[in-house]
Chain A
């Protein structure tokens, strides 16, 4: 039982490049979330999804896009990377009646 799996673990991007952070879960959870965590700060919600085909913005959505074509996968897309997007990104899921299960994170540096 893998839980929530994120890839890659680390990535360095140059300003203006694009990339997709992958997230997949094998718990058949409907609800999935993307958070970012900056040093010394709490996690902030970027986007979330309550089921396949449904996505919505969180607190800090600017510069990101998401899609949810299947229950298992919830990729996060950065189109034009900026230094302000240097952060650790966590994907998480829940079945709706239980606390969040987090992935191990993707550490992204934009230079």
Chain B
């Protein structure tokens, strides 16, 4: 039974499109939610969200958390081919170390030129 559910599982867009990736979770006593980008190899960290309603932004990427409704979204504007990757959402239960994560299955994003 998945604790973290991501949707869609895969998405194909053209360069310049805006995409929204979704992550819902069922972890009780929630501590933080993280987004990672995974290209060929290791996942690389994008955002960590702890508080509801506060948007985190980095260039064309932004993310926000809704702790009441138990979900987060990751937005990517003006997509580029370099954004093609798997985007992973993960949750840390309260009381766990920062490394003890429950991951979703990921969204495979493909950006065509």
Chain B binds chain A: yes
Kindly list chain B residues whose C-beta atoms are within 8 Å of the C-beta of A98.
Answer: 98
In the complex the two chains form, is A100's CB within 8 Å of B98's CB? yes
Interface size of B by CB at 8 A reads 22
In the complex the two chains form, is A43's CB within 8 Å of B103's CB? yes
Binding site of B, secondary structure by majority: helix, strand, loop or mixed? loop
In the complex the two chains form, is B101's CB within 8 Å of A100's CB? yes
Indicate whether A99 sits within 8 Å of B45 (C-beta atoms), given known contacts A33-B99, A45-B100, A94-B98: yes
Question: Is A42 in contact with chain B by the CB < 8 A criterion?
Answer: yes
CB contact list, B54-113 vs A, under 8 A: 88, 90, 97-106
Chain A interface residues toward B at CB < 8 A? 4, 31-33, 35, 40-45, 48, 50, 58, 90, 92-94, 96-100, 102-105
17 contacts between A and B (CB under 8 A): A33-B99, A42-B105, A43-B88, A43-B101, A43-B103, A48-B99, A58-B100, A90-B42, A90-B43, A94-B97, A97-B98, A98-B98, A99-B34, A100-B98, A102-B44, A104-B41, A105-B41
Chain B interface residues toward A at CB < 8 A? 2, 4, 9, 34, 41-45, 48, 88, 90, 97-106
